[in-house]
Structures are given as structure tokens and as C-alpha cells.
């Protein structure tokens, strides 16, 4: 089992019983691989799904030193990908309580599995065959974020 990337998700998942933890892991994996989501996004959605299906679980969850959710800002960003002769722009939604550019850069670094070679303001994967870099990021309101979540 991987430890979830987001501190609050990791804290709540650590308090789930083994059956719900397995349900969380399965849902996160399906979202990550079948829906091609970034791992941290898949983990957040998987946890929300588990808690939605089992709301009684929240009665036993204790909140420790995780950052306050209200301090997290919502962002819409784009990652640029060059894959051979093809170029893509990947839209991403994320929350951050610090510099959003650093978070988008982390997403670019972890976009593909394996080691990334950092050059040219981005990251090369698979012996230089694929190049990913952060393209842009803007802060969005909670309402805009909710609408974008339906389409991204």
C-alpha cells in the first residue's frame, strides 16, 4: 500500500478499518489507471467515494496536524506534453496551501512512472521520448472548481 500523497487523505486513510482501506486502494487504483488521473487526485476522489458510501466512518476519524481545508486554495493548471511529433495540453485541477507553481511542477515530475530527467524547465521520460512541463496555473473559486471537476 502506498501512503497517500496528500497529508489529510493519508491521515484519514490511516484510520480506516482494513475493509474500507482496501476499498479505498482499489478505487484509487481504478481511477488512476483506467481514468488516467494523477495519483493524488485519484486518492482524493476515492476517499470521498468511500466516505460517501460509509458516512458513519467519519464518526471515528480524529483530525491531527493536517492543514486546515479552508486554507487550501483551488487551482486550474495545464501541463504541456511533447510526445514524438505530437503535442498535448493536459488540464489539471488541484488544491494547494503553498506555491501552486511548485505543486504543478511536482505533478509534471510525477506524470509518468519512473525517473524523470529534469532539463529545459521540464521533465524528460522514457529516454527523452516524452517531455512534460508546467504550462500555466490560475486560482479558481470553489464554484468554478466544482464546475470544472465535472469536465476534467
Write down the mean pLDDT value for the chain.
Answer: 86
Residues 41-75 have pLDDT tens digits of 888 888 888 888 887 777 666 655 544 545 789 99
pTM for the model: 0.55
DSSP β-bridge partners for residue 90: 79
pLDDT of residue 67: 47
**Please, which residues have CB within 8 angstroms of residue 63's CB and are 6 or more apart in sequence?**
11
Q: Where do the domains of the chain lie?
A: 7-60, 71-151
- How many angstroms separate the most distant Cα atoms in the chain? 52
Tracing cell 486502494 back to the chain, one arrives at 25
Determine contact, residues 28/42, Cβ cutoff 8 Å: yes
Mean pLDDT of 11-36: 88
3-state secondary structure labels for all residues of 42-78:
HHHHHHHHHHHHCHHHHHHCCCCCCCCHHHCEEEEEE
Q: Which of 66, 45, 68, 59 is nearest to 16 (CA)?
A: 59
> What Cα–Cα distance (Å) separates residue 92 from each residue in 95, 98, 144?
10, 17, 13
Amino acid at each position: 500500500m502506498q501512503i497517500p500523497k496528500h497529508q489529510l487523505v493519508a491521515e484519514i486513510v490511516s484510520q480506516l478499518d482494513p475493509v474500507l482501506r482496501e476499498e479505498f486502494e482499489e478505487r484509487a487504483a481504478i481511477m488512476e489507471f483506467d481514468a488516467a488521473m494523477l495519483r493524488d487526485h485519484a486518492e482524493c476522489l476515492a476517499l470521498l467515494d468511500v466516505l460517501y458510501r460509509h458516512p458513519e466512518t467519519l464518526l471515528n476519524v480524529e483530525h491531527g496536524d493536517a492543514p486546515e481545508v479552508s486554507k487550501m486554495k483551488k487551482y486550474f493548471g495545464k501541463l504541456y506534453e511533447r510526445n514524438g511529433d505530437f503535442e498535448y495540453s493536459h488540464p489539471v485541477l488541484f488544491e494547494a496551501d503553498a506555491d501552486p507553481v511548485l505543486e504543478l511542477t511536482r505533478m509534471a515530475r510525477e506524470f509518468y512512472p519512473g525517473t524523470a530527467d529534469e532539463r529545459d524547465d521540464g521533465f524528460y521520460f522514457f529516454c527523452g521520448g516524452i517531455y512534460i512541463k508546467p504550462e500555466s496555473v490560475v486560482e479558481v473559486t470553489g464554484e468554478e472548481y466544482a464546475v470544472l471537476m465535472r469536465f476534467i
